[in-house]
Amino acid sequence: MAAATGSHILNLTRPALEALPIALPNLEQQQRLVEVANSIAQEQTLLIRLIENRQQQMDALASKFLTGKTIA
């Protein structure tokens, strides 16, 4: 049985695709990967909040500077 058929464009048959082995990390590794991904997502959220906070600070300073108010 041929794994691929067609004249110019090869097609992968369902049985050939189903016969392919798929390597998966063990459950412990999968759980660790999820933990790392969650930590990265939390860090990214915090960094975005820090950037937004810094932008607000810069906007406030620019506003005070442009209006001539004293910057403490």
- pTM recorded for the entire structure: 0.58
Question: Which tens digits make up the pLDDT trace of 36-69?
Answer: 999 999 999 999 999 999 999 999 999 998 988 7
Whole-angstrom distance, CA of residue 9 vs CA of residue 69: 71
pLDDT for res 47: 98
Which DSSP helix (H) or strand (E) runs through 57? helix 27-67
- Which contiguous run of DSSP H or E holds residue 3? none
**CA separation for the pair 32, 43 (Å, rounded):** 16
CA angle 50, 61, 47 (to 5 degrees): 5
pLDDT tens readout for residues 7-43: 677 888 999 999 999 999 999 999 999 999 999 999 9
pLDDT at 58: 96
